Structure 1
């Protein structure tokens, strides 16, 4: 069993790709205002259990509406030696497609895949989309 893994998901949203990307690339500190029940600063709340993660932005690709993050401190690093998140928004004819990639290396074989983090990414994407669409109206 490999300790290195990757999870991916796509989420369709109504907001333009550029606006969604701007939240992560230019205003990540506003995410806690958009979905305070899930993210409070760098405190991630998943299944009622507070998780703390400190991330840095590794790369911003404005041309491809992509932002890459690396977890540098917190609870995730108790389970994973490395944890990276990549979020990319692609414009469609109507709305956008948000693609998440979670790359990780487990500290041991008995650590589960971070499916809760993937669900959190999906939920945060939907909250940000709803917020952006509310602002547009």
Structure 2
């Protein structure tokens, strides 16, 4: 099993950023239509453990058209969530793909910690750098969106 970790510093307060992450099912297709075609809740409420979401990506996203993910952990107090990809294009490349996210207060802003544990389907499969870059872009763009709300 391999793992990559990143930390993205954002200017938005942790409570505000975490709130937006929790509302991502509705929010992301609205504010990021060039990335997310739709996100629908298949099982549960989309936020609690056991919930399943189907994410359809926009045409501009390379290689991946859809992903189905199950929430494995959700902790309001620590502002953290983890999910495992259970179906979709990512499953063609990785036998196991579990992402974790935590929003940690830092000064007036916060730090978004994102990691992924993965196992490649074959040796030829590249490291998930594209997915990592996509996550960083999403966090940065979400921060910009939230900061512009109060403007």
Find the aligned partners of 2:146 and 2:87 in 1 and give their Cα distance. Answer: 29
Taking structure 2 as the reference length, the TM-score comes to 0.81
| Larger RCO, structures 1/2 (Cα 8 Å, 6+ apart) | 1
List, as ranges, runs of 4+ consecutive aligned residues in structure 1 with deviation greater than 4 Å: 45-48
Alpha-carbon distance change, 7 to 47 in structure 1, aligned in 2, over 3 angstroms = farther
Instruction: Give the alignment of 1:31-110 within 5 angstroms.
Output: 31-41=28-38, 42-45=55-58, 48-49=61-62, 51=64, 52-110=66-124
Alpha-carbon distance change, 55 to 90 in structure 1, aligned in 2, over 3 angstroms = same
Alpha-carbon distance change, 86 to 105 in structure 1, aligned in 2, over 3 angstroms = same
Taking structure 1 as the reference length, the TM-score comes to 0.88
CA RMSD of aligned residues (A): 1.7
Are 1:28 and 2:24 counterparts?
Answer: yes
Point out where structure 2 has 5 or more consecutive residues left out of the alignment: 39-54
Q: How many residues align?
A: 133
